[in-house]
Structure 1
Amino acid sequence: MVAFKIHLKEKVRLGDIDFSYLNTITEGDFEFLSTLVDLFINNTPKEIESLEWEVRSRNFEGIMVMAHALKSNLQMFLMTDEAYFLQVTESDARDGFLASDAEENLQTLKQNVLGVVSILKELNAA
């Protein structure tokens, strides 16, 4: 177990979102980029809710699955602290363990990610 604390972003701004990895994998294909952003907007909040449920239920198998899925999504936007927390949580769950601050970190992760989702929705609407 590694002690780790995610820092809450007071207000997520467009400049906080790193598109460099997405730009690399989409190779300038705006339609592909738009599809990945739409998937992130539509799926990630639901996956966070699922992870919250698994954590509250102490279902380690479910925690592993959801943390792994979310980690991949967050890595697309280079949300490294949040992805690292999910990596640690996935590893801890594999060992049948959940850190005492996991729920607090998960709430911070949720707020940060929902801030990114909100900005991405605004960009899509423009």
Structure 2
Amino acid sequence: MNTALWVMQGSLAAIFLSTGLIKLLQPADKVRQLVPAAFPMPFVRLLAGLEIVGSIGIIFPWLTGILPILTPLTALCMSIVLVGAMIVHSRQQEWSKLPFVGVLLVVSLVVVYSRYATLF
């Protein structure tokens, strides 16, 4: 089970890191193709930074053993972001994006539950 959790954590970290870097480093006009115009660009850049920090928080606290409680907490926070993404994609009627975001949400919640249960 530990190996499966590491695969899940690594996958989540890679996805959040890549999406965060895309939103942070791409020019605003390219980011606008990915994100609804209703969100101001500073908010999108802030969200990108949080995704990058989240990708680090899903891996390193558990890996180093320094404050390992941060791993399930980070996964929980990223789950909240994913719920928000599902709401936004639903309102924008981007139905094709919902299954992928839903899978990420389930994987993130599995990491939350499993890593938290391992601590106690």
Same fold (TM over 0.5): no
**TM bracket, shorter-chain basis:** 0.3 to 0.5
Structure with higher RCO (Cα < 8 A, 6+ apart): 1
Give the TM-score normalised by structure 1.
0.39
